[in-house]
A = this chain, B = another copy of it.
Amino acid sequence: MSDTASPVGVAVLGLGNVGSEVVRIIESSADDLAARIGAPLVLRGVGVRHVSADRGVPAELLTDDIEALVSRSDVDIVLELMGPVEPARKAILSAIAHGKSVVTANKALLSRSAGELAEAAEAARVDLYFEASVAGAIPVIRPLTQSLAGDTVERVAGIVNGTTNYILSEMDATGADYAQALADASALGYAEADPTADVEGYDAAAKAAILASIAFHTRVTADDVYREGISNITPADFTAARALDCTIKLLAICERITTAAGQQRVSARVYPALVPLSHPLATVNGAFNAVVVEAQAAGRLMFYGQGAGGAPTASAVTGDLVMAARNRVQGGRGPRESKYAQLAIAPIGDISTRYYVSMDVADKPGVLSSVAAEFASHEVSIAEVRQEGVIDDEGQPIGARIVVVTHRAPEASLSKTVAALADLDSVQRVASVLRLEGTDQ
């Protein structure tokens, strides 16, 4: 431990929205940051793919030789803000091997390789911080790893993808269908040219893997996360949701579950869910994120804020930078990977929740009875059922739709029920199956 005031050298990899904002903060808040750290921060270099043109950074700081930058002896901390998985992984491992602490916002990389990176950091006795990888500026990683370190987390449920939340908020508010809302999101820059990672839930699944790992002291990777996207959600689903005093949100849920045999397992999953309007997540709209944590002693906590964007993400990165720099100056290290529990991953069939099932049926007597019988035969208890006529464009009746909301039931039983329903002659198709969040009846 030393109180020397020799400067802390920083290398920034990547100069996109986040990297540019981090560089700006390091410069504009230099005095404040130095006071908080106990030593000045000095930006040693910025790694970019192509050294060119005016990047808003003095030209002599730019380099495309990432390997040389992260191994410089006057660099103490490397901020990896370039993505994607490669070359970021290689750069981080190289930085760690050279004894640098690392701050990264790379959720895709962490959701695959957090274990490898953590082991390398442990071997080199350096810090690896990643607050910005989940929910942008919202402190979530640090509360889970530190504030709740004395508690037992039971469940984490969050809205962690702004693109899908924008699309679903739009569908709910305007009645737009999915394609229209996606087009609007693209036009406003909220959706990428290829929106797959967002709309099919891959981005949220990466964040779910990170959250589940730290909440349950278990290594969880993106491949362990059950995942459904939002592209099948229809205006009819929103109409049905509203009739149930609900909206629809894409949720990342990480949960400790106990099997029938008494074993503790971790379920991590991403899917669009019906959320009651009275639930705190129901009013999180547009590009905002929120994470609800339920812990044994703390009860229910919620963290809310901007989940993406250059400045908010840069806030989280710079906070991690200050922590890593303080440790350099004052001794000590930040929290390490905690994987002592190593719980098994629960397949989606192991969870139990409430369900909403809508189906198109023949409009004739006895259909509701046969539908209800299928639920009963699989021991799925019905909480609420609605049947309404469906008419064509000219107002002629062309069938009926039955919407069933169940009590809490095992996913495996529900799946069998849905398969059996689809086989019924009187059921034309099962239009939609969605899970319900936050009601426990």
Residues in chain A within 8 A of chain B (CB atoms) = 1, 21, 25, 29, 32-33, 35-36, 125, 131, 137-139, 142-143, 146-152, 217, 280, 295-306, 311-312, 314-323, 326-327, 330-333, 335, 338, 340-341
B319 adjacent to A150 (CB under 8 Å): yes
Give every chain B residue within 8 A of A36 (Cβ-Cβ): 149, 217, 338, 340
A374 nearest CB across to chain B (Å): 40
Task: Name the residue in A25, A317, A320, A322 with the highest tally of chain B Cβ atoms < 10 Å from its Cβ.
Answer: A322
Docked Cα-Cα span, A139 to B303, in Å, equals 9
New A-B pairs, 7, CB < 8 Å, besides A33-B150, A131-B147, A137-B295: A29-B152, A139-B146, A142-B143, A149-B322, A297-B312, A298-B315, A330-B332
A3 nearest CB across to chain B (Å): 11
A35 nearest CB across to chain B (Å): 4
A312 adjacent to B299 (CB under 8 Å): yes
Contacts A142-B143, A332-B331, A333-B332 given; does A297 touch B137 at CB 8 Å: yes
Give every chain B residue within 8 A of A280 (Cβ-Cβ): 304
Docked Cα-Cα span, A327 to B146, in Å, equals 12
Docked Cα-Cα span, A331 to B306, in Å, equals 34
Which of B25, B149, B314, B319 is A147 in contact with, Cβ under 8 Å? B319
A298 adjacent to B322 (CB under 8 Å): no
Question: Closest 4 CB pairs between A and B?
Answer: A332-B332, A150-B318, A137-B298, A139-B147
Give every chain B residue within 8 A of A331 (Cβ-Cβ): 1, 331-333
B298 adjacent to A305 (CB under 8 Å): yes
B316 adjacent to A298 (CB under 8 Å): yes
A419 nearest CB across to chain B (Å): 40
Which of B138, B323, B327 is A301 in contact with, Cβ under 8 Å? B138
A130 nearest CB across to chain B (Å): 12
Give every chain B residue within 8 A of A301 (Cβ-Cβ): 137-139, 303-305
Give every chain B residue within 8 A of A1 (Cβ-Cβ): 125, 331-333
Task: Name the residue in A306, A319, A335, A340 with the highest tally of chain B Cβ atoms < 10 Å from its Cβ.
Answer: A319
B319 adjacent to A326 (CB under 8 Å): no
Task: Name the residue in A25, A146, A147, A299 with the highest tally of chain B Cβ atoms < 10 Å from its Cβ.
Answer: A147
A27 nearest CB across to chain B (Å): 12
A335 adjacent to B340 (CB under 8 Å): no
B150 adjacent to A146 (CB under 8 Å): no
Docked Cα-Cα span, A314 to B295, in Å, equals 12
Which of B142, B150, B321 is A322 in contact with, Cβ under 8 Å? B150
Q: Write the chain B residue with the least CB distance to A141.
A: B147
Docked Cα-Cα span, A317 to B280, in Å, equals 26
A326 adjacent to B335 (CB under 8 Å): yes
Q: Write the chain B residue with the least CB distance to A311.
A: B297
Give every chain B residue within 8 A of A32 (Cβ-Cβ): 152, 217, 341
A146 adjacent to B299 (CB under 8 Å): no
Give every chain B residue within 8 A of A319 (Cβ-Cβ): 146-151
Which of B151, B295, B299, B306 is A299 in contact with, Cβ under 8 Å? B306
Docked Cα-Cα span, A25 to B297, in Å, equals 9
Q: Write the chain B residue with the least CB distance to A310.
A: B297
Residue contacts A-B, CB under 8 angstroms, 15 given: A25-B150, A25-B151, A32-B341, A33-B150, A36-B338, A137-B298, A139-B142, A142-B143, A150-B314, A298-B305, A299-B305, A301-B305, A326-B335, A327-B332, A332-B332
Contacts A151-B319, A300-B305, A323-B149 given; does A35 touch B314 at CB 8 Å: no
A150 adjacent to B317 (CB under 8 Å): yes
Docked Cα-Cα span, A314 to B147, in Å, equals 11
A333 nearest CB across to chain B (Å): 6
A143 nearest CB across to chain B (Å): 4
A302 adjacent to B299 (CB under 8 Å): no
Give every chain B residue within 8 A of A147 (Cβ-Cβ): 131, 139, 142, 316, 319
Docked Cα-Cα span, A433 to B217, in Å, equals 52
Give every chain B residue within 8 A of A139 (Cβ-Cβ): 139, 142-143, 146-148, 301
Docked Cα-Cα span, A336 to B338, in Å, equals 25
A303 adjacent to B306 (CB under 8 Å): no
Q: Write the chain B residue with the least CB distance to A142.
A: B147
Docked Cα-Cα span, A144 to B211, in Å, equals 21
